[in-house]
Amino acid sequence: MKIYLRRAVLLATATLLIFAAPGCLQSFARSQQDDQAAKPKPQRAAEPPPRIVAMTAKDFVFDPAVIHLKVGDKVRLQVISTDRTHGLHVNAFPDGAKANTPPGLAFIFGEDCFKLKKGESVPVDIEATEPGTYSFVCCKACDTGHKQMKGQIIVEP
């Protein structure tokens, strides 16, 4: 987590340098009125995806277990376990994929297995790029029902 934060700060600093430097030069040439009109826009570096899907993991079930998306959708699964530690692994390749099938889901913070600690809400950002059925499973050995704990993201064209 600390690494992400540090990276975000670095990125923000770099963005500021890149965009602020030419802006300063231009403002010398501008009149004061122009400067007042051109107020700095709010930063959009860490813009969250527009749609949030709340998901719970409990009693060896993901709820919802089936999520419908369309190609081009960007969603944030906000996943919380309410009983014990589970995990979430979403397959980026559709069911039935062959060796040359490209991935059809993109992850903004790609993690193979998101750890879902009890009571901790974990964001999983996904962009659907290809139609298909993408399976997800629990990826932390939780208990007796571990292997039944699964679901699907169905991406329609």
Residues that bind Cu ion (CB under 5 A): 138, 142, 146
The minimum distance between CB 85 and Cu ion, in angstroms, equals 8
Residue with smaller CB distance to Cu ion, 34 or 59: 59
The minimum distance between CB 86 and Cu ion, in angstroms, equals 5
What string of H, E and C letters represents the secondary structure of the chain?
A: CHHHHHHHHHHHHHHHHHHHHHHHHHHHHCCHHHHHHCCCCCCCCCCCCCEEEEEEEECCEEECCEEEEECCCEEEEEEEECCCCEEEEECCCCCCCCCCCCCCEEECCCCCCEEECECCCEEEEEEECCCEEEEEECCCCCCCCHHHCEEEEEEEC
The minimum distance between CB 141 and Cu ion, in angstroms, equals 6
Residue with smaller CB distance to Cu ion, 134 or 136: 136
Residue with smaller CB distance to Cu ion, 105 or 142: 142
